[in-house]
Amino acid sequence: MQIRQRKRRKRKYYYLQHSFRDGSKIIKKEKYLGEEIPKNIEEIKKEFEIELKLPTNKKLEKIKANFQEEWKKIPESAKKRELEEISIAFTYNTNAIEGSTITLEETREIIKDKIAPNKSLRDIRETEAHNEVFLEMITKKEVISKELLLNWHQSIFGLSKPDLSGRFRDYIVKVGPHLAPDWQDVEKLMKELFEFIKKHDDRLNPVELSAKVHYKFEKIHPFGDGNGRIGRLLMNYILWADGYPMIIIEKKKRKQYYKALTKEENSFASYFIKSYLKAHKRRYLQ
């Protein structure tokens, strides 16, 4: 978003301009500011940003409304099976993104049939544990806190990575080109993240909130390992708690996902929302 100046008959006029890509087209939206830049320009920018998001937010709200209507009609026993299938798909993809060799069918066998494939014991344990955490997560409405995330981490990695499970890292880590913040700043940064979740602007749609929280969490990289899996649990926890259907980042889309995470926060949020709308397209077209 930029302030543009135009001259007409020796007089200056100011506009707030925002450009974005829609497929192969570049769309420009403008808001007239006047002959001087208003003193409350930051507030005007926020209001303009909200105006720009209205069409997208209406689609997101329609997704929620139609999902809730569908969910109400499903018998309780069928809901349990549906959530188990979501857990299988989510567990497989979130682990596969991080390098697990367990296939989708093997994930189903581990979770549903309690059959262990001839694969790494670590991968099998993390598959079982992730499923348990996921199913427990969606049945409870807990405040997002340090204790909650440490509990998820301990539950998933307690057996496979006992030396780092259930605690924030106390050493420097680098993820590709990204140098995570100094470990001594992790506690402070996570407190700020929890405050952001608790006191976020009510005008922020929950889908965008989940995207921003996921981005912030991954940039902090609070754990020695398992940040991706905890971060993706967190984003879906926010969606589900607000009545929105979840989203699964698929293994085959890992490159686009990682690429989006290398960009700045609003760019990642835009990528995330587009992915969410695509995943739930039939719900906003109803």
Full DSSP string of 166-202: TS---S--EETTEEPPPGGGHHHHHHHHHHHHHH--T
The stretches in the chain having pLDDT less than 70 are: 20-24, 286
CA-CA-CA-CA dihedral for 73, 78, 83, 85, to nearest 10: -120
Helix (H, G, I), strand (E, B) or coil at 222: coil
Cα angle: 110, vertex 169, 272; to 5 degrees: 65
End-to-end CA distance of the chain: give it in Å, rounded: 33
Determine the pLDDT at residue 6.
85
Q: Which residues of 11-36 are buried (b: 16+ CB within 10 A; e: fewer)?
A: eeebebebeeeeeeeeeeeebebeee
Residue extents of the structural domains in the chain: 1-49, 83-285
Q: Please tell me the CATH superfamily of domain 83-285, with its number.
A: Fido-like domain (1.10.3290.10)
Determine the pLDDT at residue 247.
97
What is the rounded distance in angstroms from the CA atom of residue 250 to the CA atom of residue 248? 6
Determine the pLDDT at residue 8.
84
Determine the pLDDT at residue 176.
77
User: Which of 172, 153, 171 is closest to 230 using CA atoms?
Assistant: 153
Determine the pLDDT at residue 42.
82
Determine the pLDDT at residue 20.
67
> In this structure, what DSSP letter does residue 127 have?
H
